[in-house]
Amino acid sequence: MTRWYADYFTADYWSFARHEYTAERTAGEVAYLLKTLAEHAPGRRVLDLGCGVGRHAVPLAEHGHDVTGVDVCRWALDQAGAAAGRAGVPLRLVEADLLGGGPLPEADAVICLQAFGWGDDGEQLRMLRRVRDALAPGGLLVLDHSNVDAILRHYRPTARFEAEGTVFDFFRSYDTLSGRSRGELRVTYAGGKVARLLDDVRLYRPPEVAGLLAAAGFDVLRADAAFTSGAAVDLDTRYVQFVARRREVPRPAVLDHRSPASGTLDLRSAPDEVEYVQDVLTEVWSGLGTGASPALPFPATAASPAALLPPTAASVAAAAPSSAATPVSSAGSAVGGDLLDLSRDYALRDPYGGERAAPVLSRHFGTEITPDRVVAGAGTTGLLAALSALAAPGTVLCTPYAHPDLLGWAATHGAELRVFDPAAGDAAEVVAAARPSLIVVERPGVLGDLLPAERVAALAEAAAEAGSLLVLDEACAAYAGPEASAVPLTSRLPGLVVLRSLSKGYCCGGLRAGFAVCSAGAAPALRRVAPPLAVASLSLRFALRLLSRGDLLTPLRTALATAKPALVDGLRDLGATVVPGHPALPWVVVEGTPPDGVTGKPVRPLTGGPAVTRVSVPLSAERRAAFSRLVGR
């Protein structure tokens, strides 16, 4: 289907527009653009969206910018190409619908002048997100729009303009509910020829455009009136220019796990932790198909050792259900009890895992947890992804070295990220003033600090008062034991969500099993955005059986009591400044980069501040010996 704007900006339209867009007006707009680009753009590649006949693109190219013009109208592009030829400047031209779905060329700056509002709000938002994706880091957007406040103050349903024997009649109607102006430009030439051009434009107020920019991932630097830098926008401002910068979105943490340089000791993670839980993991896995623990609603029968092996084609065929096969219970739990049945279980009656997990979690953390307060997810990562949907519109308060995943997703949704110190005495006051949508605190954080329970309580109460949620990411808190968790606080405090998983210490990240334990009023909000059935029944049973064993990480903490001080002393001998952190945590933090020969995991602060590197404690005899050789001991 041809959109109205594809047939609008033709020679007939420009027979009028050349009288409105005079050489003097164009020169003033170009001067504004040159000044703004010089102040804020990180480079000279400019993308002109809706470039028309090139009245901005060509002068920018004349001033040394590398310009690409995009427009849906072939006639207008031909005029722009001819203008560039007369000026003797290079100009790339692309025929494309701005509201289409194709990628845009990479640029340091994008300008979009009098080409906004052609579609609906969703299309405009998607276009702005495509613009953000096309911009280089630090890239700039100059977006001009017609201010409906000023238009309606002088609104006339009809108007006439005559020039050089041609009559231009305008017929307009404005729909208050949709914010759209629909009309017709009727061009009557001296010889009697009549052209009719139909338009359908969404007119915005400046706050609406600012909201779309935020939702698309931009930070607005300023809004100018009438192409004048610093001029205040008021009700009579007909044309408003937003100057916005691409918001930098934290990249996923997993991207930091790349192969280290050859010859270095890789201490980004601690794969040797598994030595301290391997026996328990093997024992639990071996008994996984042999019956349910008392806490788990899985009636089961004994499984043969062959059930623990990957199924062959013959075994799958032999186990395939017939019309007389053992049925699946109405609760969705596999009646057969062996691993094959469990892998087929589809827990429709317990889609968020609360019924199965709550009894085990209650015993593990020593507090009563009802099923309606539990949401099982695909690890903490899956739960963080769900929570990010609650972040926008609004502000997310986070720590300087926060885990980037939720923050990146939240920023992509349009949330603003703001750093604060949850341990500061005025943290609750900061929450009250910011009224954020989410507060995200890692407990423990990268620096190895475990926020005290009384500070957690104060933040949770402040969050509830502000209509927010406090999300405690306790993915690493298992190292310190169940008694160190803030999970019990969810039984008595509002506005609190505590995330747990079995990746750290338990070495079972591949299970993709995590739990959100929520305050009574917080779980419904999370369940609205979290995918149901996110954890396979097989993974969930294995995870819960591990947790039902109590604290399994005491042997690891015993090993850390000697291995961690040795790492701290060795790094200091190599000249590093070390922050040891909590003694139960299997890592330390080095200011800046680690010494030569050691590869750690870099942690980037969200806003300024010193860069740090997380260095894992070598635990195996082999890795400890390698570190000792590096230190020269």
In the predicted structure, residue 338 carries a pLDDT above the cut 50 = yes
438-461, pLDDT tens digit by residue? Answer: 999 999 999 999 999 999 999 999
Percent of the chain with pLDDT strictly greater than 70: 90
Architecture of domain 253-273+554-631: Alpha-Beta Complex (3.90)
Of 237-246, 323-332, 357-366, 539-548, the range with the lowest mean pLDDT is 323-332
Reported confidence tier of residue 632, pLDDT bands at 50, 70, 90: confident
Q: 184: which strand partners?
A: 171, 198
Q: Where are the alpha helices (DSSP H) in 137-288?
A: 148-153, 206-216, 278-286
Comparing C-alpha atoms, which of 227, 259, 256 is closest to residue 242? 227
pLDDT digits (tens, 9 = 90+) for 403-430: 888 888 888 888 889 999 999 999 999 9
Q: Are 49 and 115 in contact (CB under 8 A)?
A: yes
Could you say which of 3.40.50.800, 1.20.140.10, 3.40.640.10, 2.40.110.10 is the CATH number of the domain covering 339-547? 3.40.640.10
Residues 6-49: tens digit of each pLDDT: 999 999 999 999 999 999 999 999 999 999 999 999 999 999 99
3-state SS assignment for residue 120: coil
- Helix spans in 513-589 (H): 523-529, 537-547, 554-573
More reliable by pLDDT, 290 or 498: 498
Rounded distance, CA 437 to CA 410, Å? 10
Domain ranges for the chain, please list them: 4-150+204-246, 253-273+554-631, 339-547
Superfamily of domain 4-150+204-246: Vaccinia Virus protein VP39 (3.40.50.150)
Half-sphere exposure of 2 (CA within 13 A, CB side): 9
Residue 82 has pLDDT above 50, yes or no: yes
Task: Tell me if 4-150+204-246 shares its fold with 253-273+554-631.
Answer: no
* Gap between the Cα atoms of 200 and 174, Å rounded: 10
Q: Over 80: is that where the pLDDT of 254 sits?
A: no
pLDDT at 100: 85
Mean residue pLDDT of the chain comes to 88
316: pLDDT confidence band, cut at 50, 70 and 90? very low
Sheet strand arrangement including 612-616: 578-579, 587-591, 612-616, 601-603
Beta bridge partners of 294: none
Q: Is residue 259's pLDDT more than 80?
A: no
pLDDT over 50 (residue 349): yes
pLDDT band, very low/low/confident/very high, at 310 (cuts 50, 70, 90): very low
In this prediction the pTM is 0.79
